[in-house]
Structure formats: C-alpha cells, structure tokens
C-alpha cells in the first residue's frame, strides 16, 4: 500500500485566518515532505522532515509552519497567508532521506485558495 492521505482536499481561507493542512502515511516511511505547486508548474520543495526532525526549510516564509507530531503525521499550519500563496500543496513520504532509490510517494494534495 503506497497511500499518503491529505486533508482537506480543498480549502478557502481569508488572509487573517489560521488553518492547518494534514498529511498521514502508514507505510513506515521516515522522511516526509511538503511541496507547493502553482498551476502549470512543477512542484517546489518547501520542507523536509527526517525521523520527525526538520532537516530542510527551503527559505519558506514564516506564515507557513510545519509540524511532525509523529512518524506517520505531518501538518502544515497556515497563518496570515497572501493571495499568491494560493496553490496545490502536496505532501510526500519516502522510506528514508538518504537512500539512492528514494522514491517519494505523494498524496492527492490540498487545493488552497486565499481570498
């Protein structure tokens, strides 16, 4: 089973709202990722967690706050977003970060609209 589950599927929020995106995997993977994807563009890496510790932050604005409560769960907390943050947010997981054949398995994403 290569399933990564993301909730919600769609989210509309105002610029003053606080919301969270959730990602869950039960494949025993120890690396989890957040990507942002704008329309007609490839995904852009935001954060990487390895063994529940933040290992990479690709200079993401502080209005995005990741959290990894346990090895199966990854959250992305959103606060005071801008309209340009509207995008598809994809979560992925992989067995470990350092493997050569490090296949990342993606969820279906959350389509976020910031009004």
Partner 1 sequence: AQKITQTQPGMFVQEKEAVTLDCTYDTSDQSYGLFWYKQPSSGEMIFLIYQGSYDEQNATEGRYSLNFQKARKSANLVISASQLGDSAMYFCAMREINYGQNFVFGPGTRLSVLP
The binder of partner 1 chosen from 64, 76, 78, 109 (CB under 8 A) = 109
Site membership for partner 1, residue 63 (CB under 8 A): no
Q: How far apart are CA 28 and CA 13, in angstroms?
A: 32
The binder of partner 1 chosen from 17, 71, 86, 97 (CB under 8 A) = 97
Q: How far is the CB of 33 from partner 1 (least distance, A)?
A: 8
Site membership for partner 1, residue 41 (CB under 8 A): yes
CA-nearest of 83, 84, 91 to 9 is: 91
User: Residue 20: beta bridge partners?
Assistant: 77
The CA–CA distances, whole Å, from 77 to 20, 22, 34 equal: 4, 9, 12
Q: Which residues bind partner 1 (CB under 8 A)?
A: 2, 40-43, 45, 48, 56, 88, 90, 92, 97-98, 100-109, 111
């Amino acid at each position: 089973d290569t399933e990564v589950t993301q909730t919600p599927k769609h989210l509309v929020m105002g610029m003053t709202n606080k919301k969270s995106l959730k990602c869950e995997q039960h494949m025993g993977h120890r690396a989890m990722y957040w990507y942002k994807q704008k329309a007609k563009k490839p995904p852009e890496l935001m954060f990487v967690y390895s063994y529940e510790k933040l290992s990479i932050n690709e200079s993401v604005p502080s209005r995005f706050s990741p959290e990894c409560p346990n090895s199966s769960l990854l959250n992305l907390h959103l606060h005071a977003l801008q309209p340009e943050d509207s995008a598809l947010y994809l979560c992925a997981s992989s067995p470990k970060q350092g493997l050569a054949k490090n296949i990342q398995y993606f969820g279906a994403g959350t389509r976020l609209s910031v009004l």
